[in-house]
Amino acid sequence: MGCGAIAQWHVEALQAAERTTVTACVDVLPEKAEKVATMTGGTAGASIADALNIGVDALAILVPHHLHEQLVTEAFATGVHVALEKPMAPSVDACERILAIADQHRDQVFMLTENAQYWPEVLMAQELINNGAIGELVTARSWHNFGITKEFYPSDQAWRFQQTAAGGGVALDTGSHWLRPLRMILGEIDEVVAITGRLWEKMEGESMVRSLCLFESGVVASFDVMLATGAVGLQPHFQFTGTSGEIVVSALGEVRLFDGKDWSGTVVGHGSYMDSYKGVWRDFESAVLDGTPLAADARYSLGEVRAANAIVRSGQTKKWEKVW
Ligand SMILES: NC(=O)c1ccc[n+]([C@@H]2O[C@H](COP(=O)([O-])OP(=O)(O)OC[C@H]3O[C@@H](n4cnc5c(N)ncnc54)[C@H](O)[C@@H]3O)[C@@H](O)[C@H]2O)c1
């Protein structure tokens, strides 16, 4: 439910999920529901009750952040499995309330669909690092600069510009997809220090973050994200530096290992960010149908919400802020 921008990406990825059928396409705007119904062969509806009448075993909740808690609560009450888009909710308190409800419905799968958990290049880098390809991790960089698109920012009134609906700016929203891989590879973030900026007058949350994340391991990584006002050049998504080499994940999906054998490094793999969405549905499908554990439980995603909130606080205090 929620047949907006990301629903269409998920619909494409769901074509690779062989045991899942989209039956109901629910949106409060009939034209949005009809569009996704046409794409999938599903039936359009306007509410969870409509979805149940059409027939569903699971609901994907793909709506603006301030609606997550209410709709997840309603969905759990109906007995269906639930996949909820990131961030779980704008505040940690709301996330905890959602997790408490999920705890009362343990026979229903609850997935927080952080697609970066399944980002192929990240998984390749993680495996190389775990296998010692660059020695001990010393530091890392992450970078995500992107522009305004009609798809995600359709008008000046877009919910992403409003604090009450989005719950924050780029750190909480798209930044989560870069925070998750850092956490997967470097562990938990202990504290952050950040400069935040508002490049867009109409956006109430921050549209620029330049930050350092200090991990519990003592390793520090930079985390930069920006909703740019103009064109941006390409920088690597991630650069992991170890005691004996580096791994660079390029913005074009290349994973390159620098281990001293060749000054220009060795391309060890290619991937596609878009394939991360296929991973989401493979994992959810097997959790629902086979009872397998999810790659990451929903509670794990609190780490991105907490880190984003600490980054916003640090932008105000200009001091290191604890994440936990
Ligand atoms: N994983 C990713 O890469 C990624 C990318 C973009 C968005 N997202 C997340 O997906 C969610 C939705 O974002 P979006 O960009 O698709 O937003 P969107 O505005 O494009 O789509 C949201 C849709 O929800 C509908 N909606 C609102 N209230 C509803 C209700 N009560 N019942 C049913 N439908 C309702 C709206 O009409 C709209 O069509 C957010 O949590 C966002 O952070 C994730």
User: Which pLDDT does position 319 carry in this prediction?
Assistant: 98
Query: From the CB of 221, is ligand 1 less than 6 Å away?
Result: no
Closest Cα to residue 225, out of 163, 276, 182?
A: 182
Which residue among 113, 132, 152 closes a domain? 113
Q: Whose Cα sits closest to atom 21 in ligand 1?
A: 4
Query: From the CB of 60, is ligand 1 less than 6 Å away?
Result: no
Note whether 100 and 160 are same-domain residues. no
**Contacts for 271 with CB less than 8 Å, ≥ 6 apart:** 119, 120, 121, 123, 124, 253, 255
Closest Cα to residue 108, out of 284, 283, 300, 301?
A: 284
Query: From the CB of 67, is ligand 1 less than 6 Å away?
Result: yes
Note whether 144 and 100 are same-domain residues. no
Query: From the CB of 17, is ligand 1 less than 6 Å away?
Result: no
Note whether 162 and 253 are same-domain residues. yes
- Here the tokens at position 57 are 């075993």
User: Which pLDDT does position 213 carry in this prediction?
Assistant: 98
Distance CA 299, CA 276 (A): 20
Note whether 32 and 133 are same-domain residues. no
Query: From the CB of 42, is ligand 1 less than 6 Å away?
Result: no
Query: Is 282 domain-assigned?
Result: no
Within the chain, how many helices (H) and strands (E) appear?
10, 14
**What is the position in ligand 1's atom list of the atom closest to the CA of 114?**
1
User: Which pLDDT does position 107 carry in this prediction?
Assistant: 97
Q: Whose Cα sits closest to atom 4 in ligand 1?
A: 6
Mean pLDDT by 10 residues, the chain (324 residues): 98 93 98 98 98 98 98 98 98 97 98 98 98 98 94 95 97 98 98 97 97 98 97 96 98 97 97 97 97 98 98 98 97
User: Which pLDDT does position 62 carry in this prediction?
Assistant: 98
Q: Give the domain extent around 241.
A: 117-272+296-322
Note whether 93 and 129 are same-domain residues. no
Look up the CATH number of the domain holding residue 43: 3.40.50.720
User: Which pLDDT does position 61 carry in this prediction?
Assistant: 98
Note whether 127 and 267 are same-domain residues. yes
User: Which pLDDT does position 305 carry in this prediction?
Assistant: 98
Note whether 89 and 124 are same-domain residues. no
User: Which pLDDT does position 286 carry in this prediction?
Assistant: 97
Note whether 101 and 15 are same-domain residues. yes
User: Which pLDDT does position 135 carry in this prediction?
Assistant: 98
Which residue among 92, 113, 134 closes a domain? 113
Note whether 249 and 151 are same-domain residues. yes
User: Which pLDDT does position 140 carry in this prediction?
Assistant: 98
User: Which pLDDT does position 248 carry in this prediction?
Assistant: 98
Look up the CATH number of the domain holding residue 148: 3.30.360.10
Domain count, the chain: 2
Query: Is 287 domain-assigned?
Result: no
Model pTM greater than 0.85? yes
Note whether 94 and 12 are same-domain residues. yes
Query: From the CB of 114, is ligand 1 less than 6 Å away?
Result: no
* φ/ψ (deg, to 5) at 212: -120, 135
Q: What's 120's DSSP letter?
A: H
Note whether 227 and 315 are same-domain residues. yes
Query: Is 285 domain-assigned?
Result: no
Which residue among 81, 113, 145 closes a domain? 113
**What is the position in ligand 1's atom list of the atom closest to the CA of 32?**
39
Q: Strands of the chain (E only): list them.
A: 24-26, 43-45, 58-61, 81-85, 110-113, 137-147, 189-197, 208-215, 220-228, 238-242, 246-249, 254-258, 266-270, 321-322
Note whether 92 and 150 are same-domain residues. no
- Here the tokens at position 227 are 């909703």
Checking 66-70 for CB contacts under 8 A at 24+ apart, the result is: 66/90, 66/159, 66/164, 66/165, 66/166, 66/167, 68/94, 68/98, 69/94, 69/97, 69/98
Query: Is 280 domain-assigned?
Result: no
